[in-house]
Amino acid sequence: MINEQITAPQVRLIGENGEQLGIVSRNEALAIAEERGYDLVLMSAGTNPPVCKILDYGKFKYDALKKDKEIKKSQKIIETKEVRLSMTIEEHDIAYRVSSATKFLKEGNKVKVTLRMKGREQAYVNKAREIVKEFCSRLNDVGTVEKEPELLGRNIFVVISPKKLK
């Protein structure tokens, strides 16, 4: 809240350079802020009396926006990429998918490996688990398996996260 939006009868006033100006009435604080060409901004409403600061509100908002942008820029968003396998996958196809998954892991993304079983393939769950484990073992140098392959319906899932760079 700024200027006339502040309703407290008395406020603890802080100057534009951070110096304490003491406890003054709201009207007196507004007059001081206006005299100096700044705004009166409520910084902490939970205290008794509330803390207000004299500052340029437009510049304050701009600096806060800039700081938020900088924080967002420095964050790395981890995406989850998916690699699909099948029961009848050939060696060349596995090698191609391993290279794709390796690229995803080196970029810092997680990889979700999915093997979908169709029709009679569902009777061979152990073979499907072996295919997924073999695929995961080829990625041991760039990623770690978060948990063992999990059977959900007709699909087997496993998530591989990138290894931390030292």
Domain boundaries, the chain: 3-72, 80-162
CATH number of 80-162: 3.30.110.10
- Asked if 26 and 43 count as a contact pair (C-beta separation under 8 A), the reply is no
- Terminal-to-terminal C-alpha distance of the chain: 47
Per-residue pLDDT, 67? 92
pLDDT surpassing 80 at residue 19? yes
Per-residue pLDDT, 72? 85
Q: Which two tokens stand for residue 143?
A: 């990623």
3-state DSSP assignment of residue 115 = strand
Which CATH superfamily includes the segment(s) 3-72?
Answer: Translation initiation factor 3 (IF-3), N-terminal domain (3.10.20.80)
Do 3-72 and 80-162 share a fold? no
Mean pLDDT on 12-21: 86
Per-residue pLDDT, 37? 86
Per-residue pLDDT, 46? 81
